[in-house]
Amino acid sequence: MSDPRVLTVRPSPEQYAWTFGGAQPLATVAPGTVLDLFTEDCFGGRVTSEKTLVSEVCQFPFLNPQTGPFHVEGAEPGDTLALHFVSIEPARDWAASTTVPLFGALTSTHTTASLQEPLPETVWIWQLDRAERSCHFTAREGELRLKLPMDPMHGTVGVAPANLEVRSALVPDAHGGNLDTPEMRAGVTCYLGVNVPGALFSLGDGHARQGEGETCGVAVECAMHTVVVVELLKGIATPWPRLESDTHLISTGSARPLEDAFRIAQLDLVQWLVRDYGFATMDAYQFLSQAVESPLANVCDTNYTAVAKVRKEWLPTPTTPAHGGLHEHLRRTAPRGPLG
C-alpha cells in the first residue's frame, strides 16, 4: 500500500452525483488515500423545518446526492475496493425525517400497489446533541419528547455497477448503493467488488441513527463529515458488499422478496467461512445456522437489504486472513476519529 495522503472534498452543489455509474469522477485517488469528505443529506439539505415538504422542495430524481465518484488508481474488474470508515460525524445540530406518500414499509407503494389513499406527508425535525451524542425526537401530535443515542452511519456507499448499467443512488444491489444498514458506521471496513476500471465509488445519505429495516423509509437524515481510508485488494472478487468490524464479519444481500435478500447474505457468509476459515460447505451451513445474527437493513428501498453477521471470536483462526488482514491493519494504522 502506498503512503497515505489526505484529500479533503467539500463538493459544490453542482458537483454531487445522483447515480452509481454514469457520473464523471470528482477526483482520482491512489490506494492508501485518506478522504476527508462532506456529504449532504438525502434531501440536498432542503428540508429544514416541519413545514418544508419533500414533495415541494425536492425534485425527483435529484434525491440522495453522492459525494464522488472517486476513480481509484489501479482498480479493475475482479478486484475489491476496501473503504475503512475512520469517522462519521453529523455536520449540523439537526436532522430531518419524513414520511413520503407511497414509500415505506407500512404503506402501499408504486409496486405493492393498492387503491387506498396514501398516508400523509409529515416531517419531523430531530435535534442532535453532538456533545451528549443523542438525537431528540419531538412528536408532531401531543407533547412527547424523547431521545435516542446517536449512532451515525452512511445509508449509501457503492461503486459503479456491472453490466453497463447506471443505477439511481436510491437503489441498493450487488454494487452497494443505498443499503441503509446501521452497520455502516465508523470503525468498519466495507468491501465492494470492482465492476469498472477505477471502481468509481461514492457515498452519502448520512443518518444520525436508523432503526433496522428503516420502516417508514426515511432515517434521521443529516449532512456528515466523514473520514475514510481507500484501499484496494487486487485479484480478490467480492460478489456482494461485505463489512468487517472489530467484532464481526458482515455480509449483505439486496433483493426482493425479502427472503431472497436473506438468502444472498447467508450464502455469502457461508462462502466467506469456506474461503477464509477452513470450513467445508455443509459444516459452515450448520455452524452459521446456530451462530448468525440477522438484523434487517432496509425493507423499503427498490431492493430490500438483509444482513448476516457472525462474531469473529467464535471462528477458528483464518486459513487466509479475511481479505488479507486488511481490517486489522487499517485499525492499527488509520487515523482515529475526525481529522483536524
Scan residues 174-203 and list those touching a second copy (CB under 8 A): none
Closest C-alpha among 37, 53, 7 to residue 206: 37
> Distance (Å, rounded) from C-alpha 206 to C-alpha 306?
19
Among 2, 6, 21, 59, residue whose Cα is nearest residue 200: 21
Look up residue 130 and give its three cell numbers.
453532538
Q: Which range of residues in 6-14, 41-49, 100-108, 321-329 is near a second copy by CB under 8 A? A: 100-108
Subset of 218-237 contacting a second copy (CB under 8 A):
218-220
Contacts to a second copy from residues 274-303, by CB under 8 A: 278-283, 285-296, 299
How many angstroms separate the CA atoms of 99 and 124, rounded?
Answer: 9
For residues 47 and 99, is the Cβ–Cβ distance under 8 A? no
Instruction: Say whether residue 129 binds a second copy (CB under 8 A).
Output: no
Q: How far is the CB of 148 from a second copy (least distance, A)?
A: 6
Out of 6, 164, 237, 339, the only residue in the binding site for a second copy (CB under 8 A) is 164
**Nearer to a second copy by C-beta: 27 or 146?**
146
Residue 48 lies near a second copy (rule: CB under 8 A): no
Among 6, 27, 57, 166, binds a second copy (CB under 8 A): 166
Alpha helices in 63-151 (DSSP H): none
User: According to CB under 8 A, which one of 12, 14, 113, 131 is a site residue for a second copy?
Assistant: 113
- Subset of 297-336 contacting a second copy (CB under 8 A): 299, 304, 306, 308, 314-316
Q: Which residues pair with 225 in a beta bridge?
A: 38, 89
Q: How do strand 123-129 and strand 134-138 relate by DSSP bridges?
A: antiparallel
Compute the least distance from the CB of residue 4 to a second copy, in Å: 34
49 lies in the binding site for a second copy (CB under 8 A)? no
Could you say which of 146, 237, 246, 339 contacts a second copy (CB under 8 A)?
A: 146
User: Residue 85 or residue 124: which is nearer to a second copy going by CB?
Assistant: 124
d(CA 268, CA 58): 37
Instruction: Measure the CA angle with vertex 171, ends 168 and 172; round to 5°.
Output: 140
Smallest gap from Cβ 70 to a second copy, in A, equals 19
Asked if 60 is part of the footprint of a second copy (rule: CB under 8 A), the reply reads yes
Our finding on whether 21 is near a second copy (CB under 8 A) is: yes
| C-alpha–C-alpha distance, residues 90 and 18, integer Å | 21
| DSSP for 2-37, written as a single string | PPP-EEEE---GGG-B-EESSS--SEEE-TTPEEEE
With respect to a second copy, which residue has the nearer C-beta, 19 or 156?
Answer: 19
Q: How far is the CB of 113 from a second copy (least distance, A)?
A: 4
Residue selected from 13, 14, 51, 141 as contacting a second copy according to rule CB under 8 A: 141
Give yes or no for a contact between 316 and 225, defined as CB atoms under 8 angstroms apart. no
